[in-house]
Amino acid sequence: MLAVGFGGMAGSLLRAWIYAAVPGTVSLWIINIVGSFLIGFAVMKLSGKSAELRLFISTGLLGSFTTFSAFSNDWFRMLENSLATGILYGLGMTIAATAAAAAGLWLGREGVSG
């Protein structure tokens, strides 16, 4: 529990720092795409490590760094203003984050086996 708690504190502070440094919705894209990539990468790189380290990094740090709730909030605001824009935003973020996670998994696996 402490590993998740301390990782969560660090991840949420890092997210707040990016929000402060990069205004607007661009910050959310950076956070979710980079975070998704790192989660995929961490899954491969941490597979043989201790449960505490895996929980600290994946659930705590990266889980609190990425944010589905902020994405959902932005998405529904956009849907209210323009259905087409909202759909494009939702699909774009989902596809980009999923592709980033897949790239992280692939690069993490390549480093493990190569």
Annotated binding site for Na(+), which residues? 63, 66
DSSP characters for 46-100? TTTS-HHHHIIIIIIIIHHHS-HHHHHHHHHHHHHH-HHHHHHHHHHHHHHHHHH
Binding residues: 63, 66
Close Cβ partners of 3 (under 8 Å, ≥ 6 residues apart) = 52, 53, 55, 56, 60
